[in-house]
Amino acid sequence: MTGIEKEVIVFAVAVFSGAIVRLAYRCISCFREIVKHSLLIMGIEDLIFWICTALYIFVQIYQTSSGSIRWYFVLGVVAGAVFMTFFIRRLQKLQKNLCEKAIAKRKKKR
Domain coverage including residue 58: 3-109
Mean pLDDT on 26-31: 92
Average model confidence (pLDDT) across the chain = 89
End-to-end CA distance of the chain: 64
What pLDDT, on a 0 to 100 scale, did the predictor assign at position 37?
Answer: 86
- 72, 66, 68: which is closest to 17 by C-alpha? 72
The pTM assigned to this predicted structure is: 0.80
Q: What is the number of structural domains in the chain?
A: 1
Mean pLDDT on 33-47: 92
